[in-house]
Amino acid sequence: MSQLFVESENKLQKKASLMNKELIIQAVKESFVKLDPRIMIKNPIMFIVEIGFLITLIMCFAPNAFGKSDVELWFNIVVSFILLFTVLFGNFSEAIAEGRGKAQASSLKQSKKEISANRLLDSGIIEEVPSTQLRKGDIVIVKQGEMIPGDGEVIGGLASVDESAITGESAPVIKEAGGDFNSVTGGTRVVSDQITVRITNNPGESFLDRMISLVEGAERQKTPNEIALNTVLTSLTLIFLIVVVTLPFFTQYLGFNIEVPVLISLLVCLIPTTIGGLLSAIGIAGMDRVTQFNVLAMSGKAVEAAGDINTIILDKTGTITFGNRMASEFVLVSQADENEFIQWLAISSLKDETPEGRSIIELLKKQNKTFDESVSQNAEIIEFKAETRMSGMDLTDGRKVRKGAVDAVKEWVASQGGIVPKDLDEKTNRISKEGGTPLAVAINNQILGLIYLKDTVKPGMRERFEQLRKMGIKSVMCTGDNPLTAATIAKEAGVDEFIAECKPEDKIDVIKYEQSQGKLVAMTGDGTNDAPALAQADVGLAMNSGTTAAKEAANMIDLDSNPTKLIEVVSIGKQLLMTRGALTTFSIANDIAKYFAIIPAMFMIAIPEMDVLNIMQLESPISAILSALIFNAIIIPLLIPLAMKGVAYKPMSSNSLLKRNMFIYGFGGVIVPFIGIKLIDVAVGLII
């Protein structure tokens, strides 16, 4: 199982390569496939360019197909080639973005095949099969450390099951045959003992499948910036289309005609083809930048949306906290000796390989507590059992040390003839009220003290949430824990709000409510119960340590499983928005230069007075048109480095950002085309 996981990780890392050979080859093929008008119509700008290409291509073979034409054949061929290049480049950028997302999603879905099941046959033989082959009524054996392969009920044995990925609760629960708690959920893990499970659902009917159906039914909102930009680009395209279509009527009134290839050239130069061709490249750049932070983005839109989020919803277990209960405090009971308590506390935990046991030894070392390990030599190790809810050691000198649930240890001490300390219940209740889990430690018939276990908040969380507040982002923690535990964790972590005893439906309701207020929402999580919310959120960041359902629902996967990574993702999203805004400004601004290149060229033969607008002193009407068209095409690949690198993100006011963009990219968008078109015109003039 672990090897399969490593192989899956390697596949993910391989797919993280932005421009691998397989992806480029496939993207080149897709560039031609996307010439299908049914696909191209989804991008109105490039669709119009494609129509222009088809018209000029037809005129290469039938010059008079759209009316009598005096344009030379070579001009039609050159225009067709330039328009085809423009369309293919736009398609290539889009194909790269789509190909990357599909490759990543395909790799993540392979993890479904990695869960195996030990199916018990009628003959008593146990066979290992993929969980997808299990049917209702099948019997499976699940041992310590194994994943439960499907929804079912326990018909034999008793075990502790970690359901944190499903319920959000950090503490394992006891599952036993014949009891009220005999149902188990696929995707949970057995942490002790062994159980026999009867599968109760066929494939497609499990809890996981229901979660996935919720995921597939959820819809993501378009970002306000995306909606605004689409509106602007579509409006500009329609305006220029109307202008160009009606232009021949005015020229006929003036007594001359404009050739169809010239009209097409004018239209292609005036509509915002530059930003239309660069949008996919900008998205790819954002995906590449988040990949540098070990985050896999399923689409550029997810990164863009991150730059606009107002609210972040976080799961507690495994996201804000480590997900495992860890020792945080040692509490003495009445008349117990501290040194003796520390000694037997350490002995009871030396051979305890559970996260709780290891955390006890780590805390002792951090507090510089000393103990004698030699007394545990040749001792009989008593492993934790769900039945006894205790672990410990039986020493060679007859002494017995136990550590476990308070009520279980109290019963054990009573059976040894001991007396329960008077303040034990009071201190136990205090720990429970603070949201912790108390464990008692006893030697023979004497209880020495308590261990305060709690689901520990990951380091640096408070500082990171403070950063989010400074960025204007509200944080909300959702957890299945009780309100007391949730409040304790929320206060320690520094989140703005929390929701306790939260079910999957509640998380979706919270996200929908925030979205109904016009806010964009980001969700981080790692459990199956987080999957619907991850899908509903505008930005869903799943932890790589999480479940398959969570990773499939999200549009981003954090390979480091660090929820605070969202801060970097937000910064990259803002950088992506700034880059898109800057290049949109440049794209619209450089139309000004094209006006002065192509419009005078169209009219100055019939209207000599128009020559006054030929401020660039272009060689001829033909060279002016071709120069503007060539510049319009080559500016797209020339701007790729800027689109890939991105505009540096610097926190500033909207007014300051607008002034900066207008000066650098607005003014630059006017000047650069004047220089570029003039240089191209000189070269074209030498050729023709």
Q: Where are the alpha helices (DSSP H) in 293-405?
A: 300-306, 338-349, 355-366
Q: Among candidates 440, 490, 455, which has minimal Cα distance to 327?
A: 455
Burial readout 538-554 (b: 16 or more C-beta within 10 A, e: otherwise)? bbbbbbbbbbbbbbbbb
Q: Annotated binding residue at 388?
A: yes
Q: Provide the terminal-to-terminal Cα distance of the chain, rounded to the nearest Å.
A: 68
* DSSP per residue, 570-609: HHHHHHHHHHHHHHHHHHHHHHHHHHHHHHHHHHTTT-GG
The single residue listed with the structure tokens 């030929």 is: 614
Q: Among candidates 45, 585, 89, which has minimal Cα distance to 276?
A: 45
Residue 346 in tokens: 């350490």
Burial readout 592-614 (b: 16 or more C-beta within 10 A, e: otherwise)? ebbebbbbbbbbbeeeeeeeeeb
User: What's the rounded Cα separation, in Å, for the pair 637 and 518?
Assistant: 36
Q: Annotated binding residue at 530?
A: yes
Confirm whether 591 is a catalytic residue: no
In the chain, the amino acid numbered 609 is E
Residue 465 class from Cβ within 10 Å (0-12 exposed, 13-18 middle, 19+ buried)? buried
User: What's the rounded Cα separation, in Å, for the pair 140 and 120?
Assistant: 5
Residue 68 per-residue DSSP state: -
Residue 270 in tokens: 């005036």
Q: Annotated binding residue at 293?
A: no
Q: Where are the alpha helices (DSSP H) in 471-620?
A: 483-493, 504-516, 531-536, 548-553, 566-603
Q: Annotated binding residue at 59?
A: no
Q: Annotated binding residue at 506?
A: no
User: What's the rounded Cα separation, in Å, for the pair 643 and 225?
Assistant: 17
Q: Annotated binding residue at 16?
A: no
Residue 418 class from Cβ within 10 Å (0-12 exposed, 13-18 middle, 19+ buried)? middle
User: What's the rounded Cα separation, in Å, for the pair 610 and 540?
Assistant: 56
Q: Annotated binding residue at 526?
A: yes
Q: Annotated binding residue at 384?
A: yes
Q: Which of 315, 455, 481, 681 is catalytic?
A: 315
Q: Among candidates 523, 648, 667, 642, which has minimal Cα distance to 583?
A: 642
- For the chain, give the number of residues: 688
Residue 51 class from Cβ within 10 Å (0-12 exposed, 13-18 middle, 19+ buried)? middle
Residue 235 class from Cβ within 10 Å (0-12 exposed, 13-18 middle, 19+ buried)? exposed
Helix pair angle (73-109, 621-638), 10° resolution? 10
Q: Annotated binding residue at 356?
A: yes
Element (H, E) at 324: strand 321-332
Q: Annotated binding residue at 352?
A: yes
Q: Annotated binding residue at 391?
A: yes
User: What's the rounded Cα separation, in Å, for the pair 345 and 328?
Assistant: 14
Active site residues: 315
Summarize the annotated binding site for ATP as residue ranges: 352, 356, 384-391, 403
Summarize the annotated binding site as residue ranges: 352, 356, 384-391, 403, 526, 530
Summarize the annotated binding site for Mg(2+) as residue ranges: 526, 530
